[in-house]
Amino acid sequence: MTESTPKALTILRRKDVQARTGLSRSTIYSKMQSSRPALYDPTFPKPISLGAKCVGWIEAEIEEWIASQIKKSRGSA
């Protein structure tokens, strides 16, 4: 892949996000709701609309969030 060739985006569905993050369905949605301050995480990637009742998450954003959680958990060292 050359530098000028854009990388193809991959969209993950909720079950894929659950598998990658280890989070439950309700925790994923709670992380996105500021009305649930105990679990709300403004850094958690926002879903994109894929249809009337269908959403997905951009794989690269989920991977970045996971990496940031690892870094936060282990410290910046």
| pLDDT tens-digit series, residues 12-32 | 999 999 999 999 999 999 999
Rounded Cα gap, residues 38 and 21, in angstroms: 18
Calculate mean pLDDT across residues 56-68: 97
Higher pLDDT, 45 or 5: 45
Helix (H) or strand (E) holding 55: strand 54-58
Rounded Cα gap, residues 31 and 45, in angstroms: 9
Per-residue tokens: 25: 């369905």
pLDDT, tens digit, for every residue of 36-58?
788 899 999 999 999 999 999 99
Calculate mean pLDDT across residues 63-68: 97
With a CB cutoff of 8 Å and minimum separation 6, the contacts of 18 are 24, 25, 28
